[in-house]
Amino acid sequence: MGASCCDNKSEDLKDLAKSQSRVLWIILIINLSMFFVEFGFGLASHSQALMADSLDMLGDAMAYASSLYVVNLGIRAKAKASLFKASLMMLTGVAVLAKSIHTFIAPELPAHETMSIIAMLALAMNGLCLFLLTRHKNDDINFRSVWICSRNDIIANTSVIAASFFVFYFASPWPDLIVAIGITILFMRSSWFVFSEARSQL
């Protein structure tokens, strides 16, 4: 009976790993696709907030790829992958901050219509990702960290939509820049949380 119990547990773990891998592949493809969409339209519309969000999508795609790599490995490997994801979030935040500071020197008025449409598309895609991840968010530190990434995306997308409204209302580029910096702060705060949790696991 003991052997049967162990066999059943082993099969359950295999099924869990398959389910996790399937979810990670879906959200990896979504995030990589949305990076190209947001980055292209961010450049075209002169929106720093959209470009900041696109860099977040790219960072998340890389993070999900690392999560796929360790989905069948142990706690230590998953903690190391989470440290990698925390580093990615921090580097993304620094890149966005540098770009925003540069734009402060010669700000351009973004195309608010493009901002709002692309941000709403990104919000819908990230909502789907969060829905898929929620059932796994307490599986382990690996999925906890990717769930945090996805939750941050929802906050960032909502902020970009709000920024597009204020850009239109005030006819000013400053709401776009303020949101870009706000997204940067969110990246850095979350990266520190994931880093601390991963360190405790190690």
Q: Which domain holds residue 53?
A: 21-201
77 within some domain: yes
Q: 149-194: per-residue pLDDT in tens?
A: 778 788 888 989 999 999 999 888 888 888 888 877 776 776 776 6
Q: Per the domain annotation, does 10 fall within a domain?
A: no
Helix (H, G, I), strand (E, B) or coil at 136: coil
- Asked whether residue 130 is domain-assigned, the answer is yes
Q: What is the dihedral of CA 185, 40, 27, 161, to 10 degrees?
A: 50
Share of the chain above pLDDT 70, in %: 74
Helix, strand and coil percent figures for the chain, each rounded to 5: 90, 0, 10
Higher-confidence position of 141 and 55: 55
pLDDT at residue 142 in the model:
63
pLDDT tens digits, 66-116: 767 666 666 677 667 767 777 777 777 777 777 777 777 767 788 889 999
How many other C-beta atoms are found inside a 10 Å radius of the C-beta of residue 1? 5
In a domain, 12, yes or no: no
Residue 135 lies in a domain: yes
Q: Please give the tally of structural domains in the chain.
A: 1
d(CA 199, CA 61): 22
Query: pLDDT-derived band of residue 3, with 50, 70 and 90 as boundaries?
Result: very low
Q: Which residue shows structure tokens 């829905």?
A: 131
Q: Is residue 13 domain-resident? A: no
Taking a C-beta distance cutoff of 8 angstroms, is the pair 69, 43 a contact?
A: no
Residue 37 falls within a domain, yes or no?
A: yes
Q: What CATH code is carried by the domain that includes residue 52?
A: 1.20.1510
User: Does the residue 6 lie in any domain?
Assistant: no
Is the pLDDT score of 2 beyond 70? no
Contact 23, 14 (CB under 8 A): no
